[in-house]
């Protein structure tokens, strides 16, 4: 402190001598908030490096709070470097912007999270970056669409809304043989269902990036938006950090704290929501109004064997998140399906998932895919995400709404 004993009260309370005792320990790490970060002297300011986490330079480049979450997420997903972004979608954007330039080509699964396709059709296209959609259920289709200027392939498992599980290992092998970068949207797996940076368990096969909507399971509250991008590669990590720095992308420490507070229970919550989703999916199987249940852990669901190989080794129960869809009979009307959703009391109508309250959304798959996927029955798709309500109450809720709206 430069000025000892300033005489005015306003200065005294700002430049105060008190330092609390060190060694404060409690269940949660503290929240450090800063735009400005102090340097002890000018020389230190000039020397300090923001690109590694050895020191602090400015709020956008991180605080002890954000560094702590990044390191814990690296442990969860098996990555080495992590950056935090203000939403899951911005995580997808940062990964793409970090490695794509004008003239490049990017491949996305036709069943990917919709806004990632919208980004490709919008900003990426306007920056002169072309894209093609591939059939995630057909590694040959991916192989045939890789071009000399293909720089990046996006992967997602399972497919968004339609929940088919791809041969992720087969898709990664195709990319590896063609030397293109691989980014996986790992929101569903959350670092729990499988290990994207070590797909075979022997360290030989991995994706280059994972992007993760922390908004979902890491938050678990339905009240925070955040994303992460992770890599094990030092050079790719630097590209991510440079993109973040140039775009000025960072997250608020209070939001980081919310995620830090939820993270210790992620595996318990994931397992509970998974259990409930499987019970509900099983119930749907015996309902006359339902022509197909789309849940990767359910036998007969598209890609079930791929899910089993990756997420449920050696006949274990495995991991499958709290998300599934049903295809309702095409002889119903959209009005009946909408009325069914409206009549649900415990399931709220809303996007996203991973929070405490069960959610329902009817989707029109015909508008979301280049063509109707051959593994999907024709009908009306409704997606459910399970919260923490008792599964018997949820089934009663479904049953009541079905009796009122889906009798045919």
Identity of the residue, 213 or 405, whose beta carbon is nearer to ligand PLP in the bound complex? 213
CB of 36 to ligand PLP, least distance (A): 28
Q: Annotate each residue in 295-334 with x if it binds ligand PLP (CB under 6 A) or - if it does not, as one string.
A: ----------------------------------------
The footprint of ligand PLP on this chain (CB under 6 A) covers a number of residues equal to 13
- Omega before residue 11 within 30° of 0, cis: no
Q: Is residue 219 near ligand PLP by the rule CB under 6 A?
A: no
What residues between 135 and 164 interact with ligand PLP by CB under 6 A?
160
Helices 64-77 and 253-262 sit at what angle, rounded to 10 degrees? 40
Pick the binder of ligand PLP from 129, 174, 213, 297 (CB under 6 A).
213
215 contacts ligand PLP (rule: CB under 6 A): yes
60 binds ligand PLP (CB under 6 A): no
User: Minimal CA–CA distance to 280: which of 345, 343, 326?
Assistant: 326
For residue 380, state whether it binds ligand PLP (rule: CB under 6 A): no
Of 205, 185, 157, the closest CA to residue 304 belongs to 157
User: Strand 348-349 relative to strand 209-213: parallel, antiparallel, unpaired?
Assistant: unpaired
Q: Check binding of 185 to ligand PLP (CB under 6 A).
A: yes
C-alpha 320/C-alpha 308 separation (Å) is: 10
270 is an interface residue for ligand PLP by CB under 6 A: no
258 phi/psi in degrees, rounded to 5: -60, -40
- Helices 391-405, 266-285: axis angle to 10 degrees equals 40
Residues 387-406 binding ligand PLP (CB under 6 A) are none
CB of 380 to ligand PLP, least distance (A): 21
| Separation CA 176–CA 170 (nearest Å) | 10
Among positions 130, 178, 287, 352, the unique one binding ligand PLP when judged by CB under 6 A: 352
**Residue 113 near ligand PLP by CB under 6 A:** yes
Distance (Å, whole) CA 116 – CA 113: 6
Instruction: For residue 157, give both structure tokens.
Output: 């498992």
Nearest residue to ligand PLP, using CB?
88
């Amino acid at each position: 402190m430069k000025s000892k004993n300033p005489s005015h009260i306003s200065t005294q309370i700002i430049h105060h001598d008190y330092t609390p005792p060190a060694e404060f320990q409690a269940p949660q790490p503290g929240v450090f908030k800063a735009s400005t970060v102090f340097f002890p002297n000018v020389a230190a300011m000039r020397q300090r490096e923001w690109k590694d986490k050895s020191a602090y330079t400015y709020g956008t480049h991180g605080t002890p709070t954000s560094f702590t979450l990044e390191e814990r997420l690296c442990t969860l997903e098996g990555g080495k470097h992590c950056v935090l972004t203000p939403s899951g979608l911005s995580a997808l954007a940062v990964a793409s912007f970090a490695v794509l330039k004008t003239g490049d080509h990017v491949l996305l699964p036709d069943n990917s999270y919709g806004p990632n396709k919208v980004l490709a059709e919008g900003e990426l296209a306007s920056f002169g970056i072309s894209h093609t959609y591939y059939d995630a259920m057909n590694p040959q289709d991916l192989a045939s669409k890789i071009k000399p200027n293909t720089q990046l392939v996006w992967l997602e498992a399972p497919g968004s809304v339609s929940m088919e599980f791809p041969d992720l290992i087969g898709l990664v092998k195709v990319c590896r043989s063609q030397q293109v970068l691989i980014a996986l949207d790992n929101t569903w797996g959350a670092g729990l269902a499988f290990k994207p940076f070590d797909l075979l368990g022997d360290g030989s096969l991995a994706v280059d990036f994972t992007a993760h909507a922390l908004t979902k399971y890491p938050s678990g509250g339905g009240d925070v938006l955040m994303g992460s991008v992770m890599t094990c590669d030092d050079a790719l990590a630097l590209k991510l950090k440079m993109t973040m720095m140039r775009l000025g992308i960072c997250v608020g420490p209070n939001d980081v704290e919310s995620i830090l507070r939820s993270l210790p229970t992620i595996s318990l919550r994931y397992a509970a929501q998974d259990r409930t989703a499987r019970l509900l999916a099983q119930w749907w199987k015996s309902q006359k109004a339902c022509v197909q249940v789309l849940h990767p852990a359910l036998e007969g669901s598209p890609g079930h064997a791929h899910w089993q190989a990756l997420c449920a080794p050696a006949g274990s129960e495995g991991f499958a998140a709290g998300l599934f869809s049903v295809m309702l009979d095409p002889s119903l009307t959209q009005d009946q399906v909408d009325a069914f959703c409206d009549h649900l009391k415990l399931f709220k109508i809303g996007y996203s998932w991973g929070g405490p309250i069960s959610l329902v959304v009817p989707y029109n798959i015909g508008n979301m895919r280049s063509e109707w996927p051959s593994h999907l029955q024709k009908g009306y798709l409704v997606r459910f995400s399970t919260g923490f309500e008792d599964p018997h109450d949820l089934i009663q809720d479904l049953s009541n709404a079905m009796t009122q709206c889906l009798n045919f």
